[in-house]
Amino acid sequence: MPQTLTHDDSIPDGNPFDVFEAWFAEARASEPNDSNAMALATATPDGVPSVRMVLLKGHGPDGFVFYTNLQSRKGGELLANRQVALLFHWKSLRRQIRIEGAISEVTPAEADAYFASRNPESRLGSAASDQSRPLESREVYLDRVAALREVYPDGNVPRPAHWSGFRVTPVAIEFWADRAFRLHERRRFVRCDNQGWTSTLLYP
Instruction: Find how far residue 51's CA is from the centre of its chain.
Output: 11
* Amino acid in position 203: Y
Distance CA 102, CA 169 (A): 6
pLDDT, one tens digit per residue, over 121-173 is: 999 988 888 888 888 899 999 998 999 898 998 888 999 999 999 999 999 99
Q: Check pLDDT > 70 for residue 2.
A: no
If you average pLDDT over residues 173-181, what whole number do you get?
95
Q: Are 189 and 199 in contact (CB under 8 A)?
A: yes
* Model confidence, pTM: 0.89
> Which stretches does DSSP call E strand in 73-162?
83-90, 95-105
Confidence of residue 106 (pLDDT cuts 50, 70, 90): very high
The domains found in the chain, sorted by start residue, are 16-115+161-202 (2.30.110.10)
Residues 6+ apart with CB under 8 A from 130: 71
If you average pLDDT over residues 22-42, what whole number do you get?
95
Distance CA 112, CA 126 (A): 13
pLDDT, one tens digit per residue, over 111-122 is: 999 999 999 999
